[in-house]
Structure 1
Amino acid sequence: MHPTFQRVALVGKYHESGSSAIVESTRAVISDLANFLSGMSCEIVLDKSTAESTGLEEFRTLEVPEIGEQCDLCVVVGGDGTMLGVGRQLATYGTPLIGINQGRLGFITDISLEHYREVLPLMLAGEFEEDHRSLMLGKVMREGVCVFEAHAMNDVVVNRGAASGMVELRVEVDGHFVANHRADGIIVATPTGSTAYSLSAGGPLLHPLVPAWALVPIAPHSLSNRPIVLADPVEIAIEIVAGRDASATFDMQSMTSLHHGDRIVVRRSEFRARFLHPKGWSYFDTLRRKLHWNTGGS
């Protein structure tokens, strides 16, 4: 079976201060996967950080941007966090990703380590479901100047300080005033991020095909401040009105020490991540498994 993807990059979950057992486990998985794909006539390259952390030296290495420029496919071994980090970087190149989960199956890393030998040959021959995920571009504006900018695939979160009380946040959508929220913070979530922090804060589930964001207050002072779903072409601005030590995170990339008057501006990115799933994959199957929904029965 001749593979559709000729040059395949491998990225593994690595821990800079991980135990020798964790490193050895990751090394064994990446080595086995690389040799398996090589046997399918794929040219294998490793993410440079993965190669350095595992000590694997027999394969060519590339930085993640170089993977985007030179590779047909990226296979990520780890969990959803690893997949999000790599997907965010490769979205600008349109590189498709396949996720293999070392532990519990994730929302976007849905191939178990035990089954990749049966699943990957079919996917590499073109039998897969393609799933595009939108990204947000977030900026922190201070006195009209951008002081921080990042892409986010899950969410942009504005939080109160750990030792302070609630914050007051002025929210605007496309320049129209929405409300001043007094709360522990507020989340702007993509459909991908709707199953993450947003869900635990009471936000709605958004199907990946829905072009929308969820705007979700965190522990609001007024119970009438409810989550709202917005069309994703809009621009959302969140201004720090009151509160100490507020911070903003963009998929957990932090921008701390926000000042009063700072504006966190979120809009849709021009880029989308490309995830590939096994043929027959369904988003609802994933929700049912991960959220332990009743599967019914006869």
Structure 2
Amino acid sequence: MHFPTVALVGRYHDTGIAAPLLAVAQMLRDAGREVLFESDTAANTGVTGYPSATVEEIGRRAALAIVVGGDGTMLALARQLAPFGVPLAGINHGRLGFITSIPLENATDAIASILDGQYETEERTLLSSCVVRDGTPMVSALALNDVVMSRAGAGGMIEATVQVDGLYMSNQRADGLIIATPTGSTAYALSANGPILHPALRGLVLVPVAPQTLSNRPIAIPDDCTIEVTLTRAPSGHDQGCSVHFDMQSWSSLQEGDRLVVKRADHTIRFLHPAGYSYFSTLRRKLHWNQMSGAAAD
């Protein structure tokens, strides 16, 4: 039997999330699977009749975790489950749905095919990051999308020096700098005119945000590099300064001289999609790329 124990996690702030969660749970139970509800999801949706578990317990017990929500919910769970090697499947109950790729209306059929072993697998890179001050680590975090150094207020630009594997690359004077994985290349990096990286690429992309010099362009580098970004000048003022963002996690106490160190994490995360899934089809739908009529279109 594929995936004998399956965990369900929902974006429980969404109105009406309980109904699709219960529909998937019932389908899983009918298929003979043990169903675990993530404890916060169960508590905030009023779902009863199924055992609940913390994310750590899910990591130890589940063979598959299914997210019903948006990409943000998927990002948060992926960071937590990566050390346990539990694969994830995402049912889109949000807006874009780049990584929660299963449409809500097709959820039960899609999950049934995955349970039958008919699925595509994608392995996604995570970033391990820390801020170092005078040789002392101040904060560390994982990120699936990106790590971003940016100005915290409405003041001037930040200035930073970038090194790759100990080699000087550039000085940056910009509103910020994005270090993105292929997963994150369709997030903030894309809005800052960065390139889209296919998930199978073993690379990272560095994208300046509104650089002072227009010739300062995004660059793709191998993902086994260590990137160091040293803040050399931050905007001054009561409500200004500089922040670091690790996906949705923020740290707003960056000081001049601090080093942001980013490298590929030891763990990866696996996303499961129903058989026939196409990354290019996702791009066409989500980015509204022009499509030819007929068989080539979705």
Q: TM-score range by the shorter chain?
A: over 0.9
Q: 8 Å contact 1:27–1:56 — kept in the other structure?
A: yes
Q: 8 Å contact 2:71–2:94 — kept in the other structure?
A: no
The residue type equivalent to 1:259 in the other structure is Q
Q: 8 Å contact 2:152–2:252 — kept in the other structure?
A: no
Secondary structure of the 1:268 match is strand
Aligned twin of 2:99: 108
Secondary structure of the 1:121 match is helix
The residue type equivalent to 1:27 in the other structure is A
Counting matched residue pairs gives 289
Relative distance call for 1:265 and 1:103 in structure 2 (3 A) is closer
Q: Distance in 1 between matches of 2:105 and 2:9?
A: 18
Secondary structure of the 1:289 match is helix
The residue type equivalent to 2:247 in the other structure is D
The residue type equivalent to 1:251 in the other structure is D
Q: Tell me the CA shift for residue 12 of structure 1.
A: 0.3
The residue type equivalent to 1:256 in the other structure is S
Secondary structure of the 1:119 match is helix
Q: How does 1:12-161 map to 2 (within 5 A)?
A: 12-15=10-13, 22=15, 25-104=16-95, 106-161=97-152
Secondary structure of the 1:168 match is strand
The residue type equivalent to 2:10 in the other structure is G
Q: Distance in 2 between matches of 1:294 and 1:202?
A: 19
Q: 8 Å contact 1:105–1:111 — kept in the other structure?
A: no
The residue type equivalent to 2:180 in the other structure is A
Q: Distance in 2 between matches of 1:199 and 1:215?
A: 11
Q: Distance in 1 between matches of 2:110 and 2:67?
A: 14
Corresponding position: 1:271 with 2:267: yes
Q: 8 Å contact 2:23–2:108 — kept in the other structure?
A: no
The residue type equivalent to 1:116 in the other structure is A
Q: Distance in 2 between matches of 1:94 and 1:148?
A: 24
TM norm structure 2: 0.94
Q: Tell me the CA shift for residue 57 of structure 1.
A: 2.5
1:238-268 Cα deviation digits (max 9, x unpaired): 0110023100000020111211100000000
The residue type equivalent to 1:134 in the other structure is T
Aligned twin of 1:184: 175
Q: Distance in 2 between matches of 1:35 and 1:140?
A: 45
Corresponding position: 1:286 with 2:282: yes
Q: 8 Å contact 1:46–1:59 — kept in the other structure?
A: yes
Q: Distance in 1 between matches of 2:216 and 2:113?
A: 48
The residue type equivalent to 1:7 in the other structure is T
Secondary structure of the 2:107 match is helix
Aligned twin of 2:238: none
Point out the more displaced range, 4-13 or 109-118. Answer: 109-118
Instruction: Structure 1 unaligned segments of length 5 or more: list them.
Output: none
1:88-113 Cα deviation digits (max 9, x unpaired): 11111110111111244611111111
Q: 8 Å contact 1:105–1:112 — kept in the other structure?
A: no
Q: Distance in 1 between matches of 2:31 and 2:271?
A: 21
Q: Tell me the CA shift for residue 117 of structure 1.
A: 2.2
Q: Distance in 1 between matches of 2:158 and 2:164?
A: 19
Relative distance call for 1:39 and 1:82 in structure 2 (3 A) is same
The residue type equivalent to 2:26 in the other structure is N
Secondary structure of the 2:100 match is coil
Q: Tell me the CA shift for residue 34 of structure 1.
A: 1.0
Q: Distance in 1 between matches of 2:34 and 2:65?
A: 12
Relative distance call for 1:200 and 1:105 in structure 2 (3 A) is closer
Aligned twin of 2:246: 250
Relative distance call for 1:284 and 1:253 in structure 2 (3 A) is same
